[in-house]
Copies of this chain bind each other. A is one copy, B any other.
Amino acid sequence: MNAEDMIMISVDDHVVEPPDMFDGHIPDKYRDQAPKVIKLDDGSDVWTFNDAIIPNIGLNAVAGRPKEEYGIEPTAFDEIRPGTYDIHERIKDMNAGGILASMNFPSFPGFSGRQFASAKDKDLALAVLRAYNDWHIDDWAGTYPGRMIPMALPILWDADLCADEVRRVAKKGCHSLTFTENPATLGYPSFHDEYWDPLWTAVCDEQVVVSIHLGSSGQLTMTAPNAPIDVMITLQPMNICQAAADLLWSRVIKKFPGIKFALSEGGTGWIPYFLDRVDRTYDMHHLWTGQDFGGKLPSEVFREHFLTCFISDPVGVSLRNLIGIDNIAWECDYPHSDSSWPTAPEELAAVADGVPDSDLNKITYENAMRWYSFDPFAHRAREQCTVGALRAEAGDHDVSIRSRDKGRFERSNSVEIGKLAGSATA
């Protein structure tokens, strides 16, 4: 398929929350305590909440920058693309990149909202979290209907409240809940604890996908404090196999047959090996470990419950039928440094050369629509949804590469583990 003819929905991008996001959403009594942006002496903008400074709001938001300047340094709003935090600019960037729709994971709250969960005052935490979800669903996703797959943050500290929140946002049409790879490493009951059952009941009732982003366990894959940062960058996506195995062998899958998980930014090329490994593990060990999927193989069970995705994964594309053609979606990862924006359509078309249109359509948009109960065609004629049509709409929107202030840039090829852990996990 020509790049221009593709319809592209990205199931993993990121929003950098704008400073005014809580205005009009947080109750008056919590207005003073809500998270706020302040500027530090080094010029960077940071959020403050619950007596903590949350560093690097623009972490990795390098879209449109020369590769020499990628990095994880602190940054300020005026150094990153407005499309990262301004919905109108984001839509222009999406149009220019040929992207019909996008699902946006949070930035400063952490992928599973753990910055909010850390507040001692749980009423405040709840108010902030609900305000966040209202802002995300009503303002960020709601301003341009059919362009954003809405996503809600979870309430980690109370599974019953979390279930209530899932039901509340589902009424607004939100069918994605961002969650952690591993609640146990964040100090909450593990996936193997009945604690979460009210939440799983709610997501099944409301057809909400539990979207698990790499790095959301709060633990980076670090081999040693003095390892080059390339080691960590390499290992992050595949590391999501831990969440996949943890959930696949868990009682959750068995007790909640309708539950759906997405492995966000996890890549796909490793999955055929993983599925063979789980089937072999089952075959060799289930008679003593007691695993029982009612006669099914774990690889079959995986395909019933897990959506995978990739940015550009030639191995995954070639092995798509071993993964499950109905289990693969595409992602752009805008505005992070692994992103293929604004030339994602061309990159994907090259990788998918020879793939039948019916398969490619599933990967680029049909699977995302079905898994996330999302229908952009209700808002926009299908022929206006192609890469070519969107780019025509973008006109001369500027996607050129712009250097940030050279004076503040410092090259570093190894980072202190503490600094990195504070900035890159979420």
Residues on A lying within 8 angstroms of B by beta carbon are 66-71, 182, 184, 190-193, 221, 223-231, 233-235, 237-238, 241-243, 245-246, 249-250, 267-270, 272-274, 276-278, 280-282, 284-291, 312-316, 319, 322, 337-338, 411-413
Contact = CB atoms under 8 A, between A and B. Distances in A.
Given A182-B224, A231-B246, A280-B312, A238 B273 contact: yes
Contact of A322 (B227, B230, B291, B315): B315
Given A234-B281, A267-B277, 15 more contacts: A192-B228, A221-B242, A223-B245, A228-B291, A229-B289, A230-B281, A230-B285, A231-B245, A231-B249, A233-B281, A233-B285, A234-B245, A238-B273, A276-B313, A284-B337
Contact of A235 (B225, B228, B242, B272): B242
B234 A277 contact: yes
A228 B268 CA distance: 24
Contacts of A238: 238, 241, 270, 273-274, 277
Copies in the complex: 2
Given A241-B238, A288-B71, A315-B272, A224 B192 contact: yes
A228 B229 CA distance: 32
16 contacts: A67-B285, A67-B287, A68-B287, A70-B284, A71-B288, A182-B224, A190-B223, A193-B226, A224-B246, A228-B249, A228-B289, A230-B282, A233-B281, A234-B277, A235-B245, A276-B313
A267 B278 contact: no
A269 B278 contact: no
Contacts of A229: 285, 289
Contact of A316 (B231, B233, B243, B273): B273
Given A238-B273, A238-B277, A288 B224 contact: no
Nearest to A221: B242
A411 B234 contact: no
A315 B228 contact: no
Contact of A70 (B250, B288, B291): B288
Nearest to A229: B289
A71 to B, nearest CB: 5
A230 B184 contact: no
Nearest to A291: B230
A61 to B, nearest CB: 14
Most buried by B among A71, A193, A228, A312: A228
Contact of A314 (B191, B193, B276, B291): B276
Most buried by B among A68, A267, A273, A278: A273
A233 B245 CA distance: 10
Nearest to A282: B230
Contacts of A316: 273
Contacts of A70: 284-285, 287-288
Contacts of A226: 190, 192-193
B273 A224 contact: no
9 closest residue pairs by CB, A with B? A269-B273, A190-B224, A184-B224, A290-B413, A223-B246, A230-B249, A270-B273, A270-B270, A289-B413
B291 A413 contact: yes
A284 B191 contact: no
A189 to B, nearest CB: 9
B230 A288 contact: no
A371 B147 CA distance: 54
